[in-house]
């Protein structure tokens, strides 16, 4: 079958094409058409999902010209392109975002309502692609949005997991994981490109041979070969014509059956290969931090990286005579170490397939890659046992040995007789069982290394990657994370967007620094009034949602105190619980105590194998139940755990929060990005000096931020001096009462063993120093309560928070990457005349 482009086909496109028009009437016609001809449904039998699908196809049609024109322009202009390699892209639902970016929300709303439907209901039909765990995957999605909006040539490469992050249900207070079947009714936003499939080798052995020019070469004879099929999704920028591509790879067997085996009667053996190949892109590993030792995870990483690099090389050779200038045309960003095997794979492709000599290949490789580190947790630094790595990728193992050998040769000259240095820097960890250290491979093979918030980058330099920093300080820089205001303000908070735009125009959506203009209105009583009304309405909507979802009635006039993020001990959801139990305990002792009524809202998934995180979820739900059923509390405290926290739910909850909980142990959260989303939507932060909290506080002003807890230095010092949580337990009566209450079985129907592991862990171990930060947190929360009572004052702080969040747009982050790491310029995309321009 011939799948190459056939240039003899000439067919002009008609101007008033139903697939490109942006006016209400054309959209209405197109919607009806797609319902009939794509969904195959008559209107009277169409389900909401059919209508959603018809609308999604209608909108996708309007992206296609922009997308194809973008790709064509890139090819014609032979541009430099950034390629973002990420094992996760947590993009969230596409429909509403595309409507906003195209500027046709109102037209579509009208077109839909003329057909007797509600746009919001159709938007709610979309099954979100949960192809990520949390912050890291969501950051990749925000960056794709900004890359397109800033008109930067870019491709995002990842894995098209058939099953994304699990859906979470709560049964009897416990998390239960349900398979995420996001593809079961089809995905209208993607286009499969089987004609661009590539093959990836696994296992087997290598052999050397002499080529026709007398050069020694290595050949990889694999055990099996897996096919990667790309699925493309257009990512449109905000009110620009640029639509970049997110290309996700699905794995398949090269042959459906191994006929040799089949004929020999080994039916199961023949099917085995197919099953194994398809398994590679089957499921996202649901751990927030790297997974150690799971062979399939390593296969996933190599699979998508090899597919992507082969794809880049093919695109490159389409426009360029050789790969000599590969590094001048592509900048490949490694989103954490998950894709860092790419360093060895590009070397292999250049040397084995394209016959470069080592030095030239290494020059190109080093100048192609850049590496972002996303974690400070030592246990999260990814390393793979040599035994697994070498068995799966025998040729890459040889290449890594060679890279390491040459690298250590240089180190020996710089630091003679320093064996400690050598073993600390080595890509191979030889201290016990041998491992490949992925961060070391990434550092050695990249031209730039960055952290994701100022503190994080400093700690990388001082601690985690210290030896590398000493060796090549010029490679290191900080790129503080950001989030896209298109999704996290415009799409998720239309009421606030309207109120802001009414005052300062709409420029802020693309230039978030312009929010500063809001400071002029902070003294305007009328503005503060409407600000509060808006917040109240949004909270009332969330209250309805909570009632529908979990059957708990909450009062929108109470302080909405929210912590939504992955459940992890270092994020300290249980510190939040200690505060709740403290308030409860105080109210029990003094029923007339004057406290600010609060609704505590939690959301987040625990890794399925993470016992303590799951116990924290159970604790939250148990405390919620007891407090809710205690008439003496009289609604002054409510605790809600909302199941299945995801992007869609995030869009609902950030706008409704009054208080954002960012309470990780200082020095543990690399950056955080939820902290930014809350603050942009006018909630105040209670937080430690950790990750991007520090920069948020710097921007919004110390007086507009509730700070508590130990600093990173204090944490280190306390640990070094032999931290003993029991001292806090014995010296702080209230803390002891709270821990004892939890340990006594009071919240667990008398079962005093249930929360024992959690309580004991705090009293005798407390690795995340909750007890050390407890009093400071409780005092700070008291300040929050008082501040909230003065609503005028609170609104002032909230407005100032929003006004000063300009720095945290992902547009700013992407500009910094472009200028300082990628050296890539924007490229304007001009649509052909017959396409109707954006609104």
Which positions are catalytic?
Answer: 374, 565-566, 571, 673, 677
Instruction: Give the angle subtended at the CA of 293 by the CAs of 664 and 138, to the nearest 5°.
Output: 45
Encoding tokens for residue 346? 């590009």
Of the pair 148, 671, the CB lying nearest ligand GL2 is at 671
Please give the residue ranges that form the binding site for ligand GL2 (CB under 6 A): 133-136, 139, 288-289, 374-375, 452, 481, 669-673, 691
Whole-number minimum distance, CB 290 to ligand GL2, in Å? 7
> Which residues, 6+ apart, have CB-to-CB distance to 748 below 8 Å?
622, 754, 755
**What are the beta bridge partners of residue 168?**
177
Report the alpha-carbon distance of residue 546 to residue 565 in Å, rounded.
18
Helix (H, G, I), strand (E, B) or coil at 333: strand
Report the alpha-carbon distance of residue 236 to residue 60 in Å, rounded.
10
Whole-number minimum distance, CB 288 to ligand GL2, in Å? 4
Query: What number of CA atoms fall less than 13 Å from residue 789's CA on the CB side?
Result: 9
Of the pair 365, 660, the CB lying nearest ligand GL2 is at 660
Of the pair 452, 770, the CB lying nearest ligand GL2 is at 452
Whole-number minimum distance, CB 135 to ligand GL2, in Å? 3
Of the pair 421, 668, the CB lying nearest ligand GL2 is at 668
What is the DSSP track for 171-211?
Answer: ETTEEEEE---TTTT--TT-EE-GGG-EEEEESSEEEEEE-
Whole-number minimum distance, CB 569 to ligand GL2, in Å? 13
656 burial level (CB within 10 Å; 0-12, 13-18, 19+) = buried
Whole-number minimum distance, CB 157 to ligand GL2, in Å? 18
Closest Cα partner for 332 from 83, 140, 141, 152?
Answer: 83
Report the alpha-carbon distance of residue 128 to residue 130 in Å, rounded.
6
Whole-number minimum distance, CB 476 to ligand GL2, in Å? 16
> Which residues, 6+ apart, have CB-to-CB distance to 724 below 8 Å?
none
Whole-number minimum distance, CB 375 to ligand GL2, in Å? 5
Whole-number minimum distance, CB 694 to ligand GL2, in Å? 13
Of the pair 377, 411, the CB lying nearest ligand GL2 is at 377
Of the pair 151, 289, the CB lying nearest ligand GL2 is at 289
Whole-number minimum distance, CB 124 to ligand GL2, in Å? 26
Closest Cα partner for 375 from 672, 107, 144?
Answer: 672
Backbone angles phi, psi at 264, to 5 degrees: -80, 0
Of the pair 133, 251, the CB lying nearest ligand GL2 is at 133
Write down the residue that tokens 């890291």 correspond to.
Answer: 136
* Contact between 235 and 241 (Cβ < 8 Å): no
Report the alpha-carbon distance of residue 82 to residue 755 in Å, rounded.
49
Of the pair 142, 496, the CB lying nearest ligand GL2 is at 142
Report the alpha-carbon distance of residue 553 to residue 565 in Å, rounded.
23
Residue nearest to ligand GL2 (CB): 135
What is the DSSP track for 711-771?
Answer: -HHHHHHHHHT---HHHHHHH-HHHHHHHHHHHTTTTTTT-TTTTHHHHHHHHHT-TT-HH
Instruction: Give the angle subtended at the CA of 205 by the CAs of 200 and 211, to the nearest 5°.
Output: 85
Of the pair 565, 618, the CB lying nearest ligand GL2 is at 565
């Amino acid at each position: 079958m011939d799948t190459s482009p056939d240039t003899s086909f000439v067919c002009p496109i008609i101007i008033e094409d139903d697939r490109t028009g942006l006016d209400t009437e054309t959209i209405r016609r197109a919607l009806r058409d797609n319902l009939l001809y794509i969904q195959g449904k008559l209107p009277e039998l169409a389900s909401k999902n059919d209508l959603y699908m018809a609308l999604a196809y209608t909108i996708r049609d309007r992206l296609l010209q922009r997308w194809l024109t973008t790709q064509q322009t890139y090819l014609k202009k032979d541009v430099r392109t950034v390629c973002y390699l990420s094992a996760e892209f947590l993009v969230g639902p596409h429909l509403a975002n595309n409507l906003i970016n195209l500027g046709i929300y109102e037209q579509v709303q009208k077109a839909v309502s003329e057909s007797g439907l509600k746009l919001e209901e159709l938007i709610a039909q979309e099954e979100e692609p949960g192809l990520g765990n949390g912050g890291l995957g969501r950051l990749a999605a925000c960056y794709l949005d900004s890359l397109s909006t800033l008109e930067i040539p870019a491709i995002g490469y990842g894995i098209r997991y058939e099953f994304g992050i699990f859906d979470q249900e709560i049964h009897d207070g416990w998390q239960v994981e349900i398979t995420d079947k996001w593809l079961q009714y089809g995905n209208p936003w993607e286009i499969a490109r089987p004609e661009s499939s590539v093959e990836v080798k696994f296992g087997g052995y290598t052999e050397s041979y002499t080529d026709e020019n007398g050069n020694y070469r290595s050949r990889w004879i694999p055990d099996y070969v897996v096919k990667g099929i790309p699925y493309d999704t257009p990512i449109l920028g905000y009110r620009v014509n640029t639509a970049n591509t997110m290309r996700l790879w699905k794995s398949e067997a090269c042959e459906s059956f191994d006929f040799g085996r089949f004929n020999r009667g080994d039916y199961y053996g023949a099917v085995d290969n197919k099953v194994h190949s398809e398994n590679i892109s089957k499921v996202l590993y649901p751990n927030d931090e790297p997974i150690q030792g799971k062979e399939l995870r390593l296969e996933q990483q190599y699979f998508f990286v090899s597919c992507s690099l082969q794809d880049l090389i093919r695109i490159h050779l389409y426009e360029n005579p050789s790969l000599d200038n590969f590094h001048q045309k592509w900048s490949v960003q490694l989103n954490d170490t998950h894709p860092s095997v790419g360093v060895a794979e590009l070397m292999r492709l250049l040397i084995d397939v394209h016959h470069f000599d080592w030095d030239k290949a290494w020059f190109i490789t080093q100048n192609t890659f850049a590496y972002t580190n996303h974690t400070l947790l030592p246990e999260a630094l990814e390393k793979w046992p040599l035994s697994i790595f070498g068995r799966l990728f025998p040729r890459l193992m040889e290449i890594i040995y060679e890279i390491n050998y040459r690298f250590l040769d240089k180190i020996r000259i710089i630091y003679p007789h320093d064996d400690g240095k050598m073993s600390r820097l080595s890509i191979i960890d030889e201290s016990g069982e041998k491992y490949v250290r992925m961060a070391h491979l990434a550092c050695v093979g990249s031209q730039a290394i960055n952290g994701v918030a100022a503190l994080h980058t400093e700690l990388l330099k001082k601690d985690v990657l210290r030896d590398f920093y000493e060796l090549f300080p010029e490679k290191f820089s900080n790129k503080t994370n950001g989030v896209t205001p298109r999704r996290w303000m415009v799409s998720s908070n239309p009421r606030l967007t309207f109120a802001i735009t009414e005052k300062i125009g709409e420029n802020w959506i693309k230039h978030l620094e312009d929010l500063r203009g809001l400071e002029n209105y902070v003294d305007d009583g009328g503005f503060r009034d409407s600000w509060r009304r808006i917040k109240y309405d949004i909270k009332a909507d969330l209250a309805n949602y909570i009632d529908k979802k979990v059957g708990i009635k909450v009062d929108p006039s109470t302080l909405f105190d929210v912590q939504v993020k992955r459940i992890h001990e270092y994020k300290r959801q249980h510190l939040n619980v200690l505060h709740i139990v403290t308030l409860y305990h105080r109210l029990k002792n003094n029923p007339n105590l004057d406290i600010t009524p609060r609704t505590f809202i939690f959301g987040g998934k625990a890794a399925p194998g993470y016992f303590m995180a799951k116990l924290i979820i159970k604790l939250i739900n148990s405390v919620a139940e007891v407090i809710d059923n205690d008439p003496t509390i009289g609604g002054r405290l409510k605790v809600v755990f909302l199941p299945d926290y995801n992007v869609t739910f995030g869009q609902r909850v950030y706008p409704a929060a009054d208080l954002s909980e960012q309470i990780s142990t200082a020095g543990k959260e690399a950056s955080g990005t939820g902290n930014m989303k809350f603050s942009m939507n006018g909630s105040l932060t209670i937080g430690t000096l950790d990750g991007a909290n520090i920069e948020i506080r710097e921007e919004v002003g110390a007086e507009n931020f509730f700070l508590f807890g130990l600093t990173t230095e204090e944490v280190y010092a306390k640990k070094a001096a032999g931290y003993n949580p029991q001292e806090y337990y014995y010296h702080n009566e209230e803390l002891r009462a709270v821990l004892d209450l939890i340990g006594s079985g009071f919240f667990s129907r008398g079962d005093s063993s249930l929360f024992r592991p959690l309580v004991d862990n705090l009293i005798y171990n407390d690795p995340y120093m909750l007890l050390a930060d407890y009093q400071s947190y409780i005092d700070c929360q008291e300040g929050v309560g008082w501040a909230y009572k003065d609503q005028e004052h609170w609104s002032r702080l909230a407005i100032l928070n929003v006004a000063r969040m300009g720095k945290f747009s992902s547009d700013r982050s992407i500009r910094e990457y472009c200028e300082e790491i990628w050296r890539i310029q924007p490229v304007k995309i001009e649509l052909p005349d017959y396409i109707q321009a954006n609104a």
